[in-house]
Amino acid sequence: MFPQSENSSTIRGPYHSLKRQTPAANNVFLFDLDILVPSNFGQLDHHFGEYLREFVELAPCYAISNGSYSSVMARLPLSIRNGFEGIFASAGTEMWRREELLLRHDHDFSDDLYEFMVNVVRSSAYDKKNAPVLESGSATLRLQLSGTKSTARETAKYLAWERKHQELSEIIAEFKIRFTNYQICRDSEASLLIVPSSFSTVLVRDHLRRRHKSARLITCLAPNTMSGYLKPFCEALSDTDMISVVADPSDVSQLLCHERKILKASATPRLQTPNAQFQKA
C-alpha cells in the first residue's frame, strides 16, 4: 500500500510522490528522540546537530520521548530544544516549549498497581538489576529491569537475557488481566510503559492538528516507538500524513535532505506559532 524508501528506513505515506496534496510549507515534523540520540546517555552528534538546527528554522518541528523532560535536556542541547515548536515528554503526557511546561496529563496510580510492580521487580529472575528500575511521570510509569539509567552495555546484557527468558511478555499478559483501566506496552526492547486509559497518544495528534489545521504530519520514529506507545497516534493519522520508521540519525539526515530541498524551492518563510496558542498546564 505504501512505497518504500531507498535507504534503511521504512516509509508509510506518499513520500516520493511527484504531486503533493499538501504544499511543503504546510508540513509539520515530529521526531522520536530515540532516533535523534539513540543512547540514553548519548549526546547529539555535532554535525547532525548542526544540520538539524538549520532544518528546524525552515519548518515547524516537534520532538517526542518516552522519558522525562530531564532526560530530554541531557540528550539535546538548549539551542536545539529551543528550536522545536514543542517537545512531548513522558510518552506525550507532557508538552514543553522553551523550557516551559505548557500541557500535562495528570494521574494518580493506584497502590495496587505500585504493589504489583514492586512484586514484579522482586520476583524477576534477572540478577543484575540496577536501581532505579522504575521511573514515574505525571501520568506514566516505566519499568526497566536493567535500570532506567543503565548504560548501553548494561542494557545489551539485559536484552540478551530477556530474549532467552521472555519475562516482559509474561509481565504484560498478567498486567492486562489485573489492570483493565490501564494500558501497557513495550516502549523499547528493554522497557515497559504504563499509562492510564484516560490518556492516548491520539491526543498528541489532536494537539498538532489544532495548532496546524491544514498541515501534513511527517513523523520519524524508531520501530519500537511506532509499535509501542505511539501506535494509537500512528493509527489515527490520515492518508496524506507520513510515517518513516528509521534506524539511526543518518536515515533522518537523508529524509531531511529531501524535505529541505523542497522547502527551499518553495521559498515560503516559516510561520512562527506564538505561545498564546498553548493552553498552559
For residues 67-84, give the mean pLDDT. 95
Give the rounded percent of residues in the chain with a pLDDT score beyond 70: 85
Largest CA distance in the chain: 59
Query: Which pLDDT belongs to residue 16?
Result: 34
Torsion sign, CA atoms 146, 68, 85, 46: negative
Domain boundaries, the chain: 10-105+200-277, 111-196
Tell me which fold the domain 10-105+200-277 belongs to: Rossmann fold (3.40.50)
DSSP letters for 262-277: HHHHHTPPPPPPPGGG
For residues 183-190, give the mean pLDDT. 94
Residues 56 and 84: beta-carbon distance below 8 Å: yes
Q: Compute the C-alpha angle 233/71/112, nearest 5°.
A: 70
At 123-176, the pLDDT tens digits run: 999 999 999 999 999 999 999 999 998 988 999 999 999 999 999 999 999 999
Instruction: Name the least confident of 143-147, 231-235, 253-257.
Output: 253-257
Please say if the pLDDT value at position 255 is more than 90: no
For residues 84-91, give the mean pLDDT. 98
Domains 10-105+200-277 and 111-196 share a fold: no
DSSP, collapsed to helix, strand or coil, labels residue 187 as strand
What top-level class would CATH report for the domain 111-196?
alpha beta
Query: Which pLDDT belongs to residue 258?
Result: 85
Distance in angstroms (rounded) separating the CA atoms of residues 266 and 89: 32
More confident residue, 274 or 113: 113
- Phi/psi of residue 136, nearest 5 degrees: -110, 140
| pTM score of the predicted model | 0.85
What sections of 187-248 are H helices per DSSP?
A: 202-211, 223-227, 231-236
Residues 198 and 227: beta-carbon distance below 8 Å: no
